[in-house]
Amino acid sequence: VLDFNDPFSTEVKPRILLMGLRRSGKSSIQKVVFHKMSPNETLFLESTNKICREDVSNSSFVNFQIWDFPGQIDFFDPTFDYEMIFRGTGALIFVIDSQDDYMEALARLHLTVTRAYKVNPDINFEIFIHKVDGLSDDHKIETQRDIHQRANDDLADAGLEKIHLSFYLTSIYDHSIFEAFSKVVQKLIPQLPTLENLLNIFISNSGIEKAFLFDVVSKIYIATDSTPVDMQTYELCCDMIDVVIDISCIYGLKDDGTGTPYDKESMAIIKLNNTTVLYLKEVTKFLALVCFVREESFERKGLIDYNFHCFRKAIQEVFEVRMKVVRSRKHQSHVHKNPRPTPNGTPRMPL
């Protein structure tokens, strides 16, 4: 059931629209990021022929709806209520196949962005320049520059320079798609400034080089400290999470197969051969903190663990506040949908 018009559900669960021409890779992105499908398996996916909605509720913070739109659907047809689609949408991801002629995709992008902006100026417009694994480094940069230039020129010609488009080079064959989705999701998390501030305080008092707050299931990082993100560092963190979960599935369960591979006791230390230590600790049952620490700083592990305890407590408080807001909005939604009748039988108007 397509319920586009529930303002309370979209506030609690922001909506992400996945759009683009046919065969641009939209469904493959969704399967790889959220269903752990191997990139090679996506070669056998059938083309999407209807709008697919999926609730992504893997963690306390990664909590949204994805709407995958088939490329052949003309949702600007008069019989299609596109205003309902864009109203309440948090982000619109438009996927462009970098290995194809992208002129038609740019024309569709311009039409989509301009219509969506008129309905909802608060939408974040995210452009995935996809399938760049088949391009050389120079060709990647040139393609991004060309698409960036043409898309912004089209908006300027229409007098819409104030619309901001974010561009990402992505591929399902490396971690770039997870990095791009992380950036998209972070814009939809109202607690992001609080989380970043907590991470900054934590690393500055613990002698830590870099820290990520990961959603363990999707490997999306929902926050990091204010130091720049290095792609190689991010890939190492993703690989560490895979290792921890795989080993925990083998050795972390009870003899009868009960229990969970990831719980409040989950912790891992990996020492790299460049005097760096990777340190993972469980924050909530869906979130993990992954830190990069110099060996000499890691000698003060007691201090790091004490600061982590304070950090986890603060994160839980943030989460509790969020749950109160969610419960309040659910109650409001219920009141609006089911107004109590007055004694004479007429519906009572909600205040």
Query: How far, in Å, CA of 198 to CA of 194, rounded?
Result: 6
Q: Is residue 203 in some structural domain?
A: yes
Same domain, 47 and 168: yes
Residue after which a domain boundary falls, among 158, 188, 218: 188
Among all chains, which residue has been given the structure tokens 């409040």? 264
Number of H helices, E strands in the chain: 10, 11
Q: Is residue 267 a contact partner of residue 282, using CB atoms and an 8 Å limit?
A: yes
Contact predicate 4/88, CB 8 Å = yes
Are 19 and 49 in the same domain?
yes
How far apart (Å, rounded) are the C-alpha atoms in residues 75 and 7? 21
- Tens-digit pLDDT profile for the chain (351 aa)? 334 344 434 445 678 999 999 888 888 998 888 888 888 888 777 777 777 777 776 555 667 788 888 877 776 667 677 788 888 889 999 999 998 889 999 999 999 999 899 999 999 999 999 999 988 989 999 999 999 999 999 999 999 989 999 999 999 999 899 999 999 999 988 889 999 999 999 999 999 999 999 988 788 899 999 999 888 889 999 999 888 888 887 877 776 666 677 777 888 999 998 889 999 999 988 889 999 999 999 999 999 999 999 999 998 888 788 777 767 766 776 666 566 555 555 455 444
Chain centre to alpha carbon of residue 333: 25
Per DSSP bridges, beta strands 165-169 and 124-130 are: parallel
Q: How many CB atoms lie within 10 A of CB 167?
A: 18
Strands 165-169 and 221-224: unpaired
- Domain span including residue 259: 191-326
For residue 247, what are the CA distances in angstroms to 32, 254, 292? 21, 13, 21
Strand order through the sheet with 287-294? 221-224, 208-215, 287-294, 276-282, 267-271
Q: Is the residue at 224 inside a domain?
A: yes
Cα–Cα dist 134/25, whole Å: 14
How confident is the model at residue 349, as a pLDDT?
44
- Same domain for 260 and 121: no
Residue 351 within any structural domain of the chain: no
Count of structural domains, the chain: 2
Q: Are 23 and 47 in contact (CB under 8 A)?
A: yes
Examine the domain organization and report whether 182 and 279 are in the same domain. Answer: no
Are 114 and 249 contained in the same domain? no
The enclosing domain of 51 has a CATH number of 3.40.50.300
Q: Which of 188, 215, 240 is the last residue of a domain?
A: 188
Q: In degrees rounded to 5, what are phi and psi of residue 256?
A: -90, 5
Same domain, 26 and 163: yes
Strand-pair category, 287-294 with 276-282: antiparallel
Q: 347 lies in a domain?
A: no
In a domain, 63, yes or no: yes
Nearest to 113 by CA among 145, 157, 53: 157
Same domain, 161 and 29: yes
The structure tokens 């970098």 sit at: 98
User: Within this chain, do residues 69 and 118 fall inside the same structural domain, yes or no?
Assistant: yes
Looking at the structure, tell me whether residues 170 and 212 fall in a common domain: no
Give the whole-angstrom CA distance, residue 92 versus residue 108. Answer: 13
What is d(CA 119, CA 115) in angstroms, rounded to the nearest whole number?
Answer: 7
The answer to whether residue 340 sits within a structural domain is: no
CATH number of the domain where residue 197 is located? 3.30.450.190
Whether residue 298 sits in one domain with residue 180: no
Number of CB atoms found within 10 A of residue 327's CB:
11
Evaluate whether 147 touches 96 at the Cβ level (below 8 Å).
yes
Domain shared by 207 and 136, yes or no: no
Q: Is residue 269 part of a domain?
A: yes
Q: With 0-12 CB in 10 A as exposed, 13-18 as middle and 19+ as buried, what is 72?
A: exposed
Q: Would 10 be classed as within a structural domain?
A: no
Domain finish residue from 188, 218, 238: 188
Q: Beta partners for 94?
A: 19, 127
Do 287 and 272 lie in one domain? The reply is yes
